[in-house]
Amino acid sequence: MNVSDHVFWKNKEFQEETRNANLAVAMFVKRCFTFMDRGFTFKLISNYVNMIASGDNKTLCEYKFEFLREVCNHEHHIPLSLPIPSAKITDQASPSQTQSTQDVPEYSLTNEYCRKHFLTGLLLREVGFALQEDQDIRHLALAILKNLMAKHSLDDRYADKSKQARIASLYLPLYGMLLDNMPRFFMRDIFPFNFNSSNQGSRDDLSVSGGLQNQVASALRQANSVDTSFSKEVLNSITAFSSLAVSTANHVDSRASLISIESNPSNSDKNSEKTDACEKFARPLSLIGSALRFDKLDQAETRSLLMCFLHIMKTISEDVIVSYWQRAVHQEISDFFNILELCLQHFRFLGKRHIARKLAAAVKLAQATQNNGTLKGSSSSAQAPGLLSQWMHSSQDGHRHCRSMTMPIIRGKNALSNPKLLQMIDSANAGSNGNVAETDTLNPTDMEANVATEVCLTVLDILGLFTQHHKKQLQQDDGQNPLMRKVFDTYLLFLQINQSTAALKHVFAALRLFIHKFPSAFFQGKADLCGSLCYEILKCCNHRSCSTQTEASALLYFFMRKNFEFTKGKSIVRSHLQLIKAVSQLIADAGIGGSRFQQSLAIINNFANGDAPLKSTSFPAEVKDLTKRIRTVLMATSQMKEHEKDPEMLVDLQYSLANSYASTPELRRTWLESMAKIHVRNGDLSEAAMCYIHIAALIAEYLKRRGYWKAEKARNSSVFTEDANLINYNQLLTSRDGESSFIMGWAAFLCITPNVKEEGAMKEDIGIQDTPYTEDTLVEQLELCGDYLWKAERHELIADVNKPVIAVFEKRRDFKRLSELYYDIHRSYLKVTEVVNSEKRLFGRYYRVAFYGQGFFEEEESKEFIYKEPKLTGLSEISQRLMKLYSDKFGAEHVKMIQDSNKINPKDLDSKYAYIQVTYVTPYFDEKELQEKRTDFERHHNIRRFVFETPFTLSGKKHGDVEEQCKRRTILTTSSSFPYVKKRVQVIDQQSTELNPIEVAIDEMSRKVSELNQLCYMDEVDMIRLQLKLQGSVSVKVNAGPMAYARAFLEEKNAKKYPDNQVKLLKEIFRQFAEACGHALEVNERLIKEDQLEYQEEMKAHYRDMLSELSTVMNEQLHYGTISSSFCSSLSNMSLATVSKTDCVQGGHSKASRIGAASRLSSNQ
């Protein structure tokens, strides 16, 4: 049995001995390079490493990497990893295939790569396999790779830049390893990436949940089939030139051995001259295979991999990178930028205080663990140094990995004796005492800050190199292409994450160069790139660092200047609009507007005033106007902050800003969207849907005025004239010549809400020309509106929203979208049928709210509003909400609620108090509207008139006997219809009428009759409601209910006091009341069961008693069945105008009141 067999079989029984034996074998093999054939030594290494396969126990895997660490630490590792210049390594592949791939950069771990670079290929292969193992093995493998690369970068023999570039090219297959493992990277707070690779053989699509078990099984099968040893061809090729290797290694100086760098086929001269016509290639399959794990790499592992990648990118030859970019397919270019974004995210600057807190927490945890006795011994730790900083980053910003609760540095038995940790503890203690000792090493906080800055500068260099060699591709379609978007997003990420002040100076310089190179991407075509950049620069203008503020202000001024130059001195409309829009968005997102931001605006003005070449142009005035408008928005922002807890006032302020930008659709849209977000946050979904309807109307009106559909009609006219049958192909949903109803502009949405008339007031100036809206934008808004209408349960509007969209997709022959739209309409009508029959849908309640108190309410003083409240909101609930809201503003001792609904004279109120009056109101409809609005939805949609009643007596009391009880009916009209983009709408008109006692009786009895008939003629009779209403009609006390009205106004001695026509009308109503009660009794008898027969008989007895008393009072015989069947027609033919003008209002309201009462009863039950 040889030594390797002893190590393999005895490792569990004799751990210490086998570990020492493993290291001894490694040292022996390393010395063999000096005395033996290189190829023979490579075979020894390969056989020994392949003895331990993936999946073996953890101890054996550790032995393997300790062996590799010792072997790879050979002083001539680099010469041993490079091919011999005179040796010709042949491949069994076809000559054409060899020739086509010889210039391809070796960034995948292939057989060809391993033939040329055995030691490096072996290490990279084993690291790749280790990434599929447990976390401890992954940490060990990555530490060996990272330390080896660091050793090479610090080796004085290879200090020359070209030599470092050649060494970096040795590790280029690590990039392929990164691509393979991208789905596993730790990506907290990192933007979602598209992980679909061009190499389908080595990267799985993990986004498909269906069949996941099959994917796992397939991956495992493939893993078992991967041959972890090098092919015989590789080792035979190495042996073929082993004698040359020995002579070179022994007799040539280690620096001279780098001659293989120069003799190796170089891509520098060839690829620098390549054009876009060069052949694209897909990445070759890796030897590691595609059997990837599904678990995530922790942050320490991700940072190690990315640090190695960045070192390669920093030191490798530019020609190699450019050659790869020119040949790689688009998806791999996208993945390359995804990795750069990952680097920026994982090495972002956190601030020295944050790093120090993490370090202190790590030290405290380590000391606590030692005190608890969990760490023993004093021998040096076997763990690699520097793991403490990795632990610090594994839980930053409150995120904790599933294994990050334990510091990696204390996994060893004697972790606290680690010199690195002891040094950190001493440094932290010295820093806390204010005595920082001068040491040769950097403080951990400075180290992290320097690493973040170095990563930032490295990525900036790579981006600059890419834009330099891909200017033509980036400028395609005026910069409106996916490649430009990807590069711009990476640039933008520098401003979206934390950066040090030193790094930001370079970022701003790079952005200035980028804007100078590609102005058309920002100032022509779509404005999304321009808007995104303005948003991030404005955030930096609010930075706490004065130097960053100045740099951001300078960049913003440069941006506007380039815009002015791009338009040949005409205007800065694009940057003006996008900056105002960005300010509007930042109001809610970042809370800008303080002294720092004001200072940045002043800096920009100073730049404009001091710019001598542009002093005679309109540019300084335009900059001044822009900063003035920004300050106006900021003033509104300060008001919004004062009212941030008052949702109604907050929306009112944003609505006023939206109206102020009637000439700039994009800015008006921004504020309408902001209002919609507030409504969604507060649960007011109907109002949110109306905001999106207004946005759609705004876009339609804009497209109409720009002649969008006229141009489209002109393009299609030639097609239509060729075949007359195509004309008017859908008369139902499209207008003449196949035109969409959108061509009407805002008027296309009048069927949904009359409030869209506001969008017709759009002013036309130069700002309207820079809004890139299309018909697709309009369709997207309507789809969004449809979603919120569903959530708001306004299903009846779904069809009206979808019909114009249907016309668009019919014109495009998009039958899939048409089927989806028709299915939505089908579902909406099914839902309407369901809710109409069940009567379970509630649309909200309405309240009149009046404010009094000049010293408190200012503009709202003496104004009345109608508030729309959610569903079952009661009077006490809204009163308490408003009381708390204004008590917080003015102080509880200064706010009073007015408890009644009487008309208020402000002069009679105490100026020391803020008064609030809240009154429940119901929608009001006249007779014609009642006939048109038959459903509950129609009576809660597009309503702007409301009514409430106030009881009073002529003696001054609020309530009295029926003979003296009067009431005042008040009808309110609002400026806009509900639902609206706001939750409250101001009252613009108010009409009041007073009803005398007999008119009150007529109104109340008419209401009772209507309610009884409504209950009796329902498709599904609600027995509980019917019995309650019956009991209140026929089983009442002597001095209450309907009989009280009959005695007070219909007895002969009392009837003489009132006009004859009113007395006759009241008698007719009582006759119908008697008939309605009888009919209700019949319906109840038909529906009840045996256990309620006694109750039914009792109700009949009460009914007979009521008829008997009514006959006596009215001086005529009444009994059910003999009442005139023509009563309904006679009542409807009777002109209420002959009674009084008041009765006309009362008659219309009686039905509205009945509706309100029925809905209240339904809600209570």
- Determine the average pLDDT of the residues in 357-362: 74
Q: What is the pLDDT of residue 348?
A: 86
Sign for the pseudo-dihedral over CA of 854, 860, 863, 868: negative
Question: What pLDDT, on the 0 to 100 scale, is given for residue 289?
Answer: 54
Q: Where residue 120 falls among pLDDT bands split at 50, 70, 90?
A: confident
pLDDT tens digits, one per residue of 420-468? 445 555 554 554 444 444 445 567 777 888 899 999 999 999 999 999 9
Which one-letter amino acid corresponds to residue 367?
Answer: Q
> Among the listed ranges 39-43, 366-370, 410-414, 927-931, which one has the minimum average pLDDT value?
410-414
Query: What sign does the CA torsion over 721, 725, 726, 729 have?
Result: positive
Taking only the tens place, the pLDDT of each residue in 752-774 is 999 999 888 776 555 455 566 88
Question: What are residue 278's DSSP bridge partners?
Answer: none
254 or 1053: whose pLDDT is higher?
1053
What local confidence, expressed as pLDDT, does residue 6 receive? 66
Residue 540: pLDDT over 50:
yes
pLDDT of residue 283: 55
Cβ density class 953-970: b for 16+ within 10 Å, e for less: beeeeeebebbebbbbbb
> Taken in order 152, 156, 159, 162, is the CA torsion positive or negative?
negative
Q: What local confidence, expressed as pLDDT, does residue 376 receive?
A: 38
Q: Look up tokens 């390079």; give the residue.
A: 33
In the chain, % of residues over pLDDT 90: 25
Average pLDDT, the chain: 75
- Residue 819's pLDDT band, with cuts at 50, 70 and 90, is very high
CA 756 to chain CA centroid, nearest Å: 27
Contact predicate 181/301, CB 8 Å: no
- Give the tens place of pLDDT for each residue, 958-1008: 788 888 888 899 999 999 999 999 999 999 999 999 888 889 989 889 988
Exposure class string for 1099-1113: b at 16+ Cβ within 10 A, else e: bbebbeebbeebeeb
In DSSP terms, 501 is beta-bridged to none
Strand partners, 952: 966
- Report the candidate in 999, 996, 946 with the shortest Cα–Cα distance to residue 1155: 946
HSE-CB for 814 with a 13 A CA cutoff: 12
Residue type, position 378, single letter: S
**pLDDT band at residue 4 under the 50/70/90 scheme:** low
CA angle 801, 803, 806 (to 5 degrees): 120
Closest by CA to 567, choosing from 525, 515, 524, 530, is 524
Six-digit token pair at 207? Answer: 């986004």
The pLDDT tens digits for 1061-1085 are 888 899 899 999 989 999 999 988 8
Bigger pLDDT: 928 vs 223: 928
Q: Decide if pLDDT at 1100 tops 60.
A: yes
Q: What pLDDT is recorded for position 85? A: 55
Answer whether 0.75 is exceeded by the pTM: no
pLDDT at 369 over 80: no
Say which residue, 275 or 153, is predicted with more confidence: 153
CA 27 vs CA 21, 71, 74: distances in Å: 10, 7, 9
**pLDDT confidence bin for 361, thresholds 50/70/90:** confident
Q: What is the sign of the dihedral through the CA atoms of 1040, 1046, 1049 and 1055? A: negative
Closest CA to 668 of 687, 691, 642, 647: 691
pLDDT score recorded for residue 385: 38
pLDDT digits (tens, 9 = 90+) for 655-703: 888 887 777 787 788 889 989 999 998 889 999 999 999 999 998 888 8
Closest by Cα among 758, 988, 752, 687 to 866:
988
The whole-number pLDDT of residue 1058 equals 86
What number is the average pLDDT over the span 737-761?
A: 79
Greater confidence (299 vs 541) lies with 541
- Stretch 113-138: mean pLDDT: 86
pLDDT single digits (tens) 568-578: 988 888 888 88
What mean pLDDT comes out for the span 528-548?
90
pLDDT at 442: 61
* Separation of alpha carbons 619 and 565, rounded Å: 10
pLDDT, average across residues 479-505:
91
- Tens of pLDDT along 509-533? 999 999 999 999 999 888 889 989 9
pLDDT of residue 90: 41
What is the tens place of the pLDDT at every residue in 179-230? 888 888 765 544 333 333 333 333 333 333 333 334 333 433 333 333 444 4
**DSSP tally for the chain: helices H, then strands E:** 50, 7
Per-residue pLDDT band for 285 (boundaries 50, 70, 90) equals: low
DSSP-derived 3-state class of residue 965:
strand
